[in-house]
């Protein structure tokens, strides 16, 4: 039978996939995709634990995470468009102007 541990292990795996994406991506749009994966993994964990304890707080937090993700995408894509207009590229190597 599928228990809460299955969901939590899957959530950890998906979060790690998103983390690998954040570490290896150099394109800002792809970095956004990786953060979306991480947010979704956390939502699965919230829903699974809420189901395990018969508690609705987990689902509430997942709702607010979705709201935050939606506003993050709106503002972030606006910033990406401004960056693309300024530099003509979304590559972090091109955009980075601090030495280090």
Partner 1 sequence: MYEFIAFYIFAISTVVLFGITVMSKNVLYAMTSLAGGMVMISGFFFLLGADFLGVVQLIVYVGAVMALYAFAMMFFDATKDIKEKHQNPTLTIVLGALMALVFVFIFSAPIIGENIEALYPVVEGVGNAQAVGMVLFTKYLVPFELAAVMLLVAMIAGIILAGKKMDHSLTTHDDAVDEVLHHRFESESDAIHDAEKIADRAEREGAGK
CA distance 92 to 36: 19
- Compute the least distance from the CB of residue 97 to partner 1, in Å: 17
With respect to partner 1, which residue has the nearer C-beta, 77 or 98? 77
Q: Which of 15, 10, 28 is nearest to 65 (CA)?
A: 15
- Compute the least distance from the CB of residue 95 to partner 1, in Å: 13
CA of 91: how far to CAs of 27, 31, 75, 96, 97, in Å?
5, 10, 19, 9, 12
- Compute the least distance from the CB of residue 7 to partner 1, in Å: 7
CA distance 83 to 78: 9
With respect to partner 1, which residue has the nearer C-beta, 73 or 97? 73
With respect to partner 1, which residue has the nearer C-beta, 74 or 98? 74
With respect to partner 1, which residue has the nearer C-beta, 2 or 98? 2
- Compute the least distance from the CB of residue 76 to partner 1, in Å: 9
The span from the first CA to the last CA of the chain, in angstroms, equals 51
């Amino acid at each position: 039978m599928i228990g809460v541990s299955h969901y939590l292990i899957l959530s950890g795996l998906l979060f790690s996939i998103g983390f690998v994406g954040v570490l290896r991506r150099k394109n800002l749009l792809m970095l956004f995709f990786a953060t979306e994966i991480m947010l979704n993994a956390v939502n699965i964990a919230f829903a699974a634990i809420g189901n395990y304890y018969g508690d609705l707080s987990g689902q509430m937090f997942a709702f607010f995470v979705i709201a935050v993700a939606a506003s993050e995408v709106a503002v972030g894509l606006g910033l990406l468009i401004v960056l693309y207009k300024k530099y003509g590229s979304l590559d972090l190597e091109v955009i980075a102007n601090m030495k280090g």
